[in-house]
Amino acid sequence: MKKITIAIDGFSSCGKSTMAKDLAREIGYIYIDSGAMYRAVTLYCLQNGLFLADGNVDLEALKQHMPKIRISFCLNETSGRPDTYLNGENVEQQIRTMEVSGKVSLIAAVGFVREALVRMQQELGKDKGIVMDGRDIGTTVFPDAELKIYVTASAEIRAQRRYDELKAKGEAVDFNEILFNVQERDRIDMTRAVSPLRKAADAIELDNSHMTIEEQKAWLKEQYLQAASK
């Protein structure tokens, strides 16, 4: 079977990371969560006071700081999944908080941040054998990927999934706040000037609103087998 590039794009909290990670582990591919990279830059901005009093990011300061931001991934032996590191520190938990989720779309809309992260993502995938998920993987990062998937689900279903996930981690959460956050991120992700979220012309669409994780996994594995044996 030939080694391919698998690009999985879609809305926030639509379950694409879970299916992407599981497929990568099963077929021995590298898995990269590109959203984690935008989240890590956001965390860096929060930790270094780069957000202004009006809530926007200080673009000049961030541009100066960009060369100092190093993001890497390292396999967590316990979970069997890669953890995200920011300048050598494991930030996997810190990048998933509501504080980071509330700010990350602003950072993801900054052109020079996207350029830097896209370059890193292309470097990580240069040898193929990679599953990467995000918003612009099939359109901008790997336009020649052999398999492109575009995942959708209703905002309410995605908010419910996120609510259940945060609650299970013991975070105090409010469903309406999460729904608002999901809808707001959809709006910003789809309307931003640079690399807005959109389906690549050659992507296969999957609406998983009413699918179980097991059903999604089986569906994705089938798509992979077909694409890799072409």
Asked if residues 211 and 132 have their Cβ atoms less than 8 Å apart, the reply is: no
Name the CA dihedral angle for 220, 222, 225, 230, rounded to a multiple of 10 degrees.
-100
Nearest approach, Cβ of 27 to ligand DC (angstroms)? 21
Q: Which is nearer to ligand DC, 5 or 12 (CB)?
A: 12
As measured in angstroms, the least distance from the Cβ of 50 to ligand DC is 17
Q: Rank residues 24 and 104 by Cβ distance to ligand DC and give the closer one.
A: 104
> In 48-168, which ranges are continuous DSSP H helix?
59-65, 98-108, 111-124, 155-168
Looking at the Cβ atoms of 177 and 222, the one nearer to ligand DC is 177
Which spans of this chain sit near ligand DC (rule: CB under 6 A)? 12, 34-35, 38-39, 104-105, 108, 134-137, 185, 189
Could you tell me the smallest distance in angstroms from the CB atom of residue 13 to ligand DC?
7
Cβ closest to ligand DC, residue 1 vs residue 201: 201
Strands 30-33, 5-10: pairing is unpaired
CB of 117 within 8 A of CB of 41?
yes
Which residue, 216, 215, 178, is CA-closest to 12? 178
CA distance 93 to 147: 30
Nearest approach in angstroms of CB 227 to ligand DC is 20
